[in-house]
């Protein structure tokens, strides 16, 4: 007789004792099996990258139902995304069949919070038919509240206030709970008053925003203990995925729900997470939530999933060596049975464009070996880094896909900036004129635009020309007239500048004088910082061209999407967007100080910021299954000005026995392991043919003045000179290939402050300099 299937057992409600060693346990390794079978009390499943935590979590859910410990409606299962909830439901369904349809409490924090709020809306002054407003409506409502308070809407923006509200609601704070000293964060000390007015306005509209879905739940549970007790009885088991990404509001919500029969923090809650992959602090996630789980739930059992099924030993060794430098972690050691593969490759290049060329060459080389494009991913720390890769891929005809956002030249801020420049080049470009005439807002509203369009059609001229003619009459008055006159005068000045000013300087001037850069500065949101970086990158890209016309023509060509390939597309995304994904080959460019780790993150958050950046490095490396390639540039160009870049401190944390330092063979007649640190930058410049001058050759020959210890195959081969000392003295005259002649003003180890005759004061690495008398 054939034994009953798992779904049949689930429908029959068979007890655990009737299911000796059920077949769904067979694919599990011992720690996964333990995580499934430890059903009672608090459990922390500490699951490293690629250790099969989803299999363990879904099998645990299926086990609870199949053994009759709980019905499908008695389990609260929380995920972070709707996609994760759908996938979890599908996988459970494969194990227990149609019984999964009864799991009405499987979903995201906010979807489950919305269900609870619908049932008990009256407790917080809402009706069950309340509307959940989206981000655009939230910003619109914020603007109304700001205007009602009589604040300057240019200084105190709706988007900025919405960002502050999200921060407070992520922390579970109602208007009465916001600390008084945080009132200064918005509106000249009126932030809390505005928050209260905003919430009152939502109640009057019978609406809630995204953050309210949990904050209102907290209020309900605290105001109505009988309601909370109802959910204690309902949720016999609680399972939480990605616990390391919970914010304070989510943590408080779970703490209130995860109670035992006596109301203590000891119910049947199982959380799954990895403290080493907590990378969303910028949006409210608190890694401390998972770190203190054992304290919050006394007697909790911690089960470590450490067998990795994804990556090679060298990749795991590199990731583990970096994350071991973090102090705030629970600790685990990943291992694998996967056969060893190539070492992690490390390459230093001259600049970002050379980095993009090298990565593209590597991708093409892998493709000729039979590797599909879709097997390869480029993961960057910040979105502005994508520009050089997108341009290179387009030039090489390599199809690619940007994940988590539009392509560089399709982004809102990039399109706006290009519209300004196109209008400077061609004042008759009506599409560009319409896009930016009121962006940022300059008092030229829809009615004024309509008047301008009518006049342009009647006179059969462009909008710019129609505007000039309207200013000679009385048909347009008031603020719109003043705004139009000022804008057209600015446009005239920019056109005059374009005749003699380099494109980089021109674009920087246009974006500043138009107020567009300030528009994003004043938003004071997480997104605005990235948009400002993208504008800076666009300006940098313009610096590679002699004329504005040449740059805009170039953009038009590279913005075209390459034809689709039978090999798929290369994946291009930020490290944050890559979490949860994996690829056979992963490229990790831009490992330089200030970029990775992010200077802004470290400056704003200190040691906590640095540790989150290190966790991001761990996530990046562990996305690779077979081949991981890290690179960094010696120079970056910002607003058309070259700046020396230091290799990321994370490079020095890589294990030398698992790293292969890449170099061009045969250069200078020495092998890579014999070359002093940073000499790789010389070889890139020389191979380009642009710097092979007598002075440059003497610069190479002078390298022994500042030798770095040679460590065969080590990441420290490249990073070792960072902590060295300088052979140059204060006051000594020196020469730099990019910046020219200058005088040493001060030294910090081997980093020198040099006053260059033409480039001004710069901080550079001593190994890039030679004594002026040797040139």
Domain boundary assignment for the chain: 6-105+235-305, 116-216, 409-557
Quote the mean pLDDT of the chain. Answer: 84
pLDDT at 289 over 50: yes
Percent with pLDDT over 70 in the chain: 86
- pLDDT over 80 at 541, yes or no: yes
Q: Which residue's structure tokens are 């071991």?
A: 324
Return binding residues for ATP: 47-54
Q: What is the pLDDT of residue 561?
A: 60
What is the pLDDT at residue 266? 61
14 pLDDT higher than 50: no
Q: Which pTM was predicted? A: 0.74
- CA distance to 134, 439, 440, 523, 766, per residue, from 487 (Å): 33, 11, 11, 22, 47
User: Which residues does the annotation place in the binding site?
Assistant: 47-54
pLDDT-derived band at 84, boundaries 50, 70, 90? confident
Known catalytic residues?
Answer: 53-54, 241-242, 277, 623
Poorest-pLDDT segment among 52-56, 77-81, 264-268: 264-268
pLDDT tens profile 133-162: 988 899 999 999 999 999 988 788 898 999
* pLDDT score recorded for residue 692: 33
Between CA 671 and CA 666 the distance in angstroms is 7
Task: Tell me which residue of 189, 188, 194 sits closest to 149, measured CA to CA.
Answer: 194
Most confident of 199-208, 394-403, 468-477, 720-729: 199-208
Whether the pLDDT of residue 735 is over 90: the answer is: no
Q: What is the mean pLDDT of residues 755-768?
A: 79
| Burial state string for 727-751 with b = 16 or more CB within 10 A and e = fewer than 16 | bbeeebebbbbbbeebebeebeebb
- Model confidence pLDDT, tens digit, residues 632-677: 998 877 655 677 888 999 999 999 999 999 854 322 232 333 333 3
Can you read off the two tokens belonging to residue 722?
Answer: 């960072």
Average pLDDT over residues 569-596: 94
Task: Give me the pLDDT at residue 254, please.
Answer: 95
Is-contact 90 194, C-beta < 8 A? Answer: no
- Hey, how many other C-beta atoms are within 10 angstroms of the C-beta on 536? 17
CB of 639 closer than 8 Å to CB of 632: no
Task: Give the number of C-alpha atoms closer than 13 A to the C-alpha of residue 706, restricted to the C-beta side.
Answer: 26
pLDDT score of 638: 60
Asked whether residue 724 carries a pLDDT value surpassing 70, the answer given is no
The encoded tokens of residue 695 equal 């002075």
Greater pLDDT, 331 or 587: 587
- Lowest model confidence (mean pLDDT) among 312-316, 331-335, 514-518, 712-716: 712-716
> Do residues 106 and 77 make contact, with C-beta atoms less than 8 angstroms apart?
yes
The mean pLDDT value for 491-519 works out to: 91
Write down the pLDDT at residue 658. Answer: 95
Assigned fold of 116-216: Arc Repressor Mutant, subunit A (1.10.10)
- Omega cis (within 30) before 440: yes
Residue 723 has pLDDT above 50, yes or no: no
Q: What is the pLDDT of residue 770?
A: 83
User: Hunting for tokens 């250790």 — which residue is that?
Assistant: 51
pLDDT in tens, 231-270: 999 999 999 999 999 999 999 999 999 975 455 556 799 9
pLDDT digits 0-9 by tens, 29-50: 999 999 999 999 999 999 999 9
Cα(75)–Cα(532) distance, rounded to whole angstroms? Answer: 45
- Which range (217-221, 726-730, 742-746) has the least confidence? 726-730
Position 773 scores a pLDDT of 78
**What confidence tens digit (pLDDT) does each residue in 700-712 have?**
233 333 333 222 3
H helix intervals, 412-477: 412-425, 430-436, 446-459, 463-470
The DSSP line for 646-683 is PBPTTGGGS-GGGEEE---TTGGG--GGGSPTTHHHHH
CA atoms 112, 115, 117, 120: torsion sign: negative
The dihedral of CA 675, 676, 680, 685: what is its sign?
negative
Q: Tell me the pLDDT band of 564, cut-offs 50, 70 and 90.
A: low
Tens digits of per-residue pLDDT, 159-171? 899 999 999 999 9
Phi, psi at 401, each rounded to 5° = -130, 125
Helices 694-701, 679-688: crossing angle, 10 deg rounding: 160
- What class, spelled out in words, does domain 6-105+235-305 have in CATH? alpha beta
Tell me what pLDDT residue 259 has: 73
3-state secondary structure of 459: helix
* Superfamily holding 409-557: PCRA; domain 4 (1.10.486.10)
Residue with tokens 């800076």: 536
Which segment of 49-63, 150-164, 730-744 scores lowest on mean pLDDT? 730-744
Residue 264 pLDDT: 58
* Pairing assessment for the beta strands 733-736 and 659-661 based on DSSP bridges: unpaired
Structure confidence at residue 527 (pLDDT): 80
Confidence of residue 9 (pLDDT cuts 50, 70, 90): very low
Please name the helix (run of DSSP H) or strand (run of DSSP E) that holds residue 747, with its range, or none: strand 740-748
Q: How far apart are CA 643 and CA 653, in angstroms?
A: 24
pLDDT at residue 318, as a whole number: 97
């Amino acid at each position: 007789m054939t034994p009953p299937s798992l779904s049949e057992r689930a429908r029959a409600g068979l007890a655990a004792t009737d299911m000796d060693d059920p077949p769904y346990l067979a694919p599990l390794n011992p720690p996964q099996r333990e995580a499934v079978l430890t059903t009672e009390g608090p459990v922390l499943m500490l699951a490293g990258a690629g250790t099969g935590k989803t299999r363990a979590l879904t099998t645990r859910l299926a086990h609870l139902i199949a053994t009759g410990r709980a019905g499908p409606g008695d389990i609260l299962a929380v995920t972070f995304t709707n996609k994760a909830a759908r996938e979890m439901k599908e996988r459970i369904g494969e194990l227990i069949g149609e019984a999964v349809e009864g799991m009405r409490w499987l979903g995201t924090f906010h979807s489950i919070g919305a269900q609870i709020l619908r049932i008990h809306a009256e407790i917080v002054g809402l009706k069950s038919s309340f509307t959940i407003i989206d981000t655009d409506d939230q910003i619109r409502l914020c603007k109304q509240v700001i205007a009602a308070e009589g604040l300057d809407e240019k200084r105190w923006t709706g988007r900025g206030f919405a960002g502050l509200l999200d921060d407070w609601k992520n922390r579970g704070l109602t208007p009465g709970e916001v600390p008084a000293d945080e009132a200064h964060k918005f509106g000249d000390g009126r932030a809390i008053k505005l928050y209260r007015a905003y919430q009152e306005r939502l109640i009057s509209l019978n609406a809630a925003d995204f953050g309210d879905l949990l904050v209102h739940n907290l209020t309900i549970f605290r105001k109505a203990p009988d309601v909370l007790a109802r959910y204690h009885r309902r949720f016999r088991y609680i399972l939480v995925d990605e616990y390391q990404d919970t914010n304070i509001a989510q943590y408080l919500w779970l703490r209130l729900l995860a109670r035992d029969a006596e109301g203590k923090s000891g119910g049947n809650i199982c959380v799954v997470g990895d403290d080493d992959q907590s990378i969303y602090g910028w949006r409210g996630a608190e890694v401390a939530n998972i770190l203190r789980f054992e304290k919050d739930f006394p007697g909790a059992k911690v089960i470590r999933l450490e067998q990795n099924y994804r990556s090679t030993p060298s990749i795991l060794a590199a990731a583990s060596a970096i994350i071991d430098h973090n102090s705030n972690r629970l600790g685990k050691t990943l291992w694998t049975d996967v056969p060893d593969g190539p070492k992690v490759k490390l390459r230093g290049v001259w600049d970002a464009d050379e980095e993009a060329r090298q990565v593209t060459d590597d991708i093409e080389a892998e493709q000729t070996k039979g590797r599909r494009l879709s097997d390869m991913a480029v993961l960057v720390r910040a979105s502005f880094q994508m520009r050089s890769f997108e341009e290179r891929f387009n030039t090489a005809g390599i199809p690619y896909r940007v994940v988590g956002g539009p392509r560089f030249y399709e982004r809102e801020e990039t399109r706006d900036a290009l519209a300004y420049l196109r209008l400077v080049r061609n004042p008759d470009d009506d599409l560009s004129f319409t896009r930016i005439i009121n962006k940022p807002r300059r008092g030229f509203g829809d009615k004024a635009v309509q008047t301008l369009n009518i006049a342009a059609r009647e006179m059969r001229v462009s909008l710019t020309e129609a505007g000039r003619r309207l200013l000679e009459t009385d048909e347009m008055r008031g603020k719109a007239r003043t705004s139009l006159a000022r804008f057209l005068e600015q446009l005239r000045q920019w056109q005059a500048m374009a005749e003699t000013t380099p494109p980089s300087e021109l674009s920087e001037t246009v974006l500043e004088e138009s107020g567009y850069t300030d528009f994003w500065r004043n938003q004071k949101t997480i997104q605005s910082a990235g948009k400002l970086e993208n504008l800076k990158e666009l300006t940098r890209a313009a610096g590679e061209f002699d004329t504005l016309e040449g740059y805009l023509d170039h953009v038009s060509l590279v913005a075209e999407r390459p034809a689709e390939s039978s090999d798929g597309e290369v994946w291009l995304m930020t490290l944050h967007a890559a979490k949860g994904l994996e690829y056979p080959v992963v490229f990790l460019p831009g490992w330089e100080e200030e970029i990775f780790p992010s200077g802004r993150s470290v400056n704003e958050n200190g040691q906590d910021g640095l540790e989150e950046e290190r966790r991001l490095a761990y996530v990046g490396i562990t996305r690779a299954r077979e081949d991981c390639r890290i690179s960094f540039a010696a120079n970056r160009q910002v607003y058309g000005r070259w700046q020396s870049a230091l290799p990321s401190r994370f490079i020095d944390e890589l294990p030398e026995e698992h790293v292969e330092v890449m170099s061009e063979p045969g250069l200078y007649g020495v092998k890579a392991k014999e070359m002093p640190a940073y000499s790789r930058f010389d070889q890139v410049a020389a191979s380009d043919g642009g710097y092979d001058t007598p002075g440059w050759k003497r610069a190479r020959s002078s390298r022994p003045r500042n030798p770095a210890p040679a460590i065969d195959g080590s990441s420290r081969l490249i990073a070792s000179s960072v902590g060295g000392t300088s052979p140059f003295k204060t006051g000594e005259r020196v020469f730099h290939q990019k910046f020219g002649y200058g005088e040493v003003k001060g030294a910090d180890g081997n980093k020198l402050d040099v006053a260059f005759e033409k480039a001004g004061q710069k901080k550079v690495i001593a190994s890039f300099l030679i004594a002026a008398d040797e040139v």
